[in-house]
């Protein structure tokens, strides 16, 4: 930003995730980096409580913030993302919107177009990119060939406006595309999924094939008895284990002097810098604004993950039709 004035920020939607946006903005305000204007939620009591906890004003209508802020975080139900984001982008306000970027591809494209028209930044929140284990691992990724991914959660104690693919699996759809390379096209999708205790798909498996030959097998469920966040993949020189939940990453490979497995293997457990992923995400958003740079996770990145998720859902629906579900 051209001015030395602090960035005025607000958190819109301060439920299970949005309240942590509010907390981080309040902490950054104490550090002198931003001015935390307020917390907004359609539930008045929630808005008041989160605002009070973080020393800010409360709002129940996001429109009241249009002329009071420079940037917002949006962590509202997915179907509301486009209306809210476009309203702020259209008047030049920067937007950090939590995943998924939108409910439909066309809605995501509208958001990207609004950002391009006004020049305001549009960043998509994908917390796992900022998980300390992923941050440590990313520079060591070379040519992923095969992924085996499991993401399982207990049934959430919150409202569910989307199915498990957009709610849970999208973390891994984004991560796989990021690691494989955004310029590598998806060549085939195979997927199955079923509703179990809700009216939406609660458990799903997808096999994603890329044009360069890479394959990713991804299982996602929100009806587990424990929290599992494990990614394993093979690349040309190593076997990689990534555990988002325990913040662990390792690479297993032949020792430098070895010519075969008989000569021994090396297990490199990566050093982890335990920074809160959401703080890192918000910091990246503010950096993009202050330095007038492209956001670390662009609207196009969000659209790419959403497009793949929609493809998975289409395959699931085709499979469910054969099961008469």
Q: What is the CATH number of the domain that holds 122?
A: 3.40.50.720
| pLDDT > 90 in the chain, percent | 86
Is 34 among the domain residues? yes
Distance CA 7, CA 22 (A): 14
For the ranges 6-10, 66-70, 130-134, 194-198, which has the lowest average pLDDT?
A: 194-198
Q: Calculate the average pLDDT of the chain.
A: 94
For the ranges 92-106, 159-173, 268-282, which has the lowest average pLDDT?
A: 159-173
Is 86 among the domain residues? yes
pLDDT of 246 above 90: yes
pLDDT of 159 above 70: no
pLDDT of 160 above 80: no
2 compared with 58, residue with greater pLDDT: 58
- 134 shares a domain with 269: yes
Q: How confident is the model at residue 209 (pLDDT cuts 50, 70, 90)?
A: very high
Taken in order 307, 311, 312, 317, the sign of the CA dihedral is positive
- 168 shares a domain with 151: yes
CATH number at residue 191: 3.30.360.10
Is 302 among the domain residues? no
Among 110, 19, 33, 107, residue whose Cα is nearest residue 70: 33
> Which residues form the domain of 95?
7-128+278-297
Q: What is the pLDDT of residue 237?
A: 85
Among 3, 1, 79, 6, residue whose Cα is nearest residue 36: 6
Q: What is the pLDDT of residue 325?
A: 56
Average pLDDT over residues 20-31: 99
Average pLDDT over residues 178-206: 95
The count of structural domains within the chain is 2
- Tally of residues, the chain: 325
Q: How confident is the model at residue 122 (pLDDT cuts 50, 70, 90)?
A: very high
pLDDT of 254 above 90: no
Q: How far apart are the first and last CA of the chain?
A: 52
Q: How confident is the model at residue 38 (pLDDT cuts 50, 70, 90)?
A: very high
Is 1 among the domain residues? no
Average pLDDT over residues 244-259: 87
Is 122 among the domain residues? yes
Is 268 among the domain residues? yes
- 270 shares a domain with 134: yes
Q: How confident is the model at residue 322 (pLDDT cuts 50, 70, 90)?
A: confident
| pLDDT > 70 in the chain, percent | 95
pLDDT of 258 above 80: no
CB 168 within 8 A of CB 151: yes
Going through the chain in order, the beta strands assigned E by DSSP cover 7-12, 34-40, 57-59, 71-74, 94-98, 122-125, 144-152, 186-194, 203-210, 215-221, 228-235, 238-243, 248-254, 265-269
- Long-range contacts of residues 240-249, Cβ cutoff 8 Å, at least 24 apart: 240/137, 240/140, 240/141, 240/144, 242/133, 242/134, 242/137, 243/133, 244/128, 244/131, 244/133, 244/134, 246/133, 247/131, 247/132, 247/133, 247/272, 247/274, 248/133, 248/272, 249/133, 249/134, 249/136, 249/137
Q: What is the DSSP secondary structure assignment for residue 8, as one 8-state letter?
A: E
Is 17 among the domain residues? yes
Residue 226, helix vs strand vs coil:
coil
Q: What is the pLDDT of residue 65?
A: 99
- 290 shares a domain with 254: no
- 164 shares a domain with 83: no
Q: What is the pLDDT of residue 4?
A: 72
Is 65 among the domain residues? yes
Is the entire prediction scored with pTM above 0.85? yes
């Amino acid at each position: 930003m051209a001015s030395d004035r602090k960035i005025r920020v607000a958190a819109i939607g301060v439920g299970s995730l949005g309240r942590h946006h509010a907390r981080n903005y309040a902490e950054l305000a104490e550090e002198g980096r931003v001015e935390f204007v307020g917390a907004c939620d359609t539930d008045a009591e929630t808005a008041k409580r989160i605002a009070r906890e973080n020393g800010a004003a409360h709002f129940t209508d996001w429109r009241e913030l249009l002329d009071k802020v420079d940037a917002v975080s949006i962590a509202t139900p997915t179907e509301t993302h486009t209306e809210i984001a476009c309203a702020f982008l259209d008047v030049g306000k920067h937007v950090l919107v939590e995943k998924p970027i939108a409910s439909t591809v066309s809605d995501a494209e509208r958001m990207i177009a609004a950002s391009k028209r006004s020049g305001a930044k549009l960043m998509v929140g994908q917390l796992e990119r900022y998980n300390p284990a992923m941050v440590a691992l990313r520079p060591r990724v070379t040519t992923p060939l095969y992924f085996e991914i499991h993401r399982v959660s207990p049934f959430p104690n919150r409202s569910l406006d989307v199915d498990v693919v957009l709610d849970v699996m999208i973390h891994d759809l984004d991560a796989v595309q990021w690691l494989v390379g955004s310029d590598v096209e998806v060549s085939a999708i195979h997927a199955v999924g079923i509703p179990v205790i809700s009216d939406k798909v609660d458990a799903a498996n997808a096999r994603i094939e890329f044009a360069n030959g890479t394959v990713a097998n991804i299982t996602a469920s929100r009806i587990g008895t424990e929290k599992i966040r494990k990614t394993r993949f093979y690349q040309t020189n190593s076997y990689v284990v990534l555990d988002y939940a325990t913040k662990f990453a390792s690479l297993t490979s032949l020792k430098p002097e070895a010519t075969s497995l008989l000569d021994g293997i090396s297990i490199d457990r990566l050093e982890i810098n335990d920074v809160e992923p959401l703080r890192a995400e918000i910091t990246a958003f503010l950096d993009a604004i202050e330095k007038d740079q492209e956001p670390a996770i662009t609207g196009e990145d969000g659209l790419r993950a959403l497009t793949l998720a929609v493809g998975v859902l289409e395959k699931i629906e085709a499979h469910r039709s054969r099961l008469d579900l």
